[in-house]
Amino acid sequence: MNNAMGTGQATNVSPDQATVCCRGASNALGHPAVYLTFAEQSTVQCYYCGCKYTQAPTDGDNPQAAE
Ligand SMILES: [Zn+2]
């Protein structure tokens, strides 16, 4: 696992999660913890740090790198 967050790429979360908690980047600064709710969309963006979170299936889905 890498901690490459805040680089403009969305972080995948389980579709089972209705909310996601964001506390900012992996540095010491970050921001106060906020809970982002997936309303009618599968992607939310943190209004503090701009991190994007996307609901993505992680179980039963086996993404294969098609060459
Ligand atoms: Zn954030």
Tell me the whole-structure pTM to 2 decimals. Answer: 0.67
* Closest C-alpha to 10, from 53, 58, 39: 53
DSSP code per residue over the chain:
-----SSSPPEEE-TT-SEEEE--SSSS-----EEEE--SSSEEE-TTT--EEEE---SS-------
pLDDT at 63 over 70: no
The length of the chain, given as a count of residues: 67
| Amino acid 35: pLDDT | 95
Which band of pLDDT confidence, cut at 50, 70 and 90, is reported for residue 4?
A: very low
CA–centroid distance, 18 to ligand 1, in Å, is 16
| pLDDT digits 0-9 by tens, 6-58 | 456 889 999 989 999 999 876 667 899 999 999 889 999 999 999 999 998 76
Q: In the CATH scheme, what is the code of domain 11-55?
A: 2.60.260
CA of 51 to the centre of ligand 1 (A): 5
Checking if the pLDDT of 2 tops 50, the result is: no
The residues placing their C-beta within 5 Å of ligand 1, an ion, are 22, 24, 46, 48-49, 51
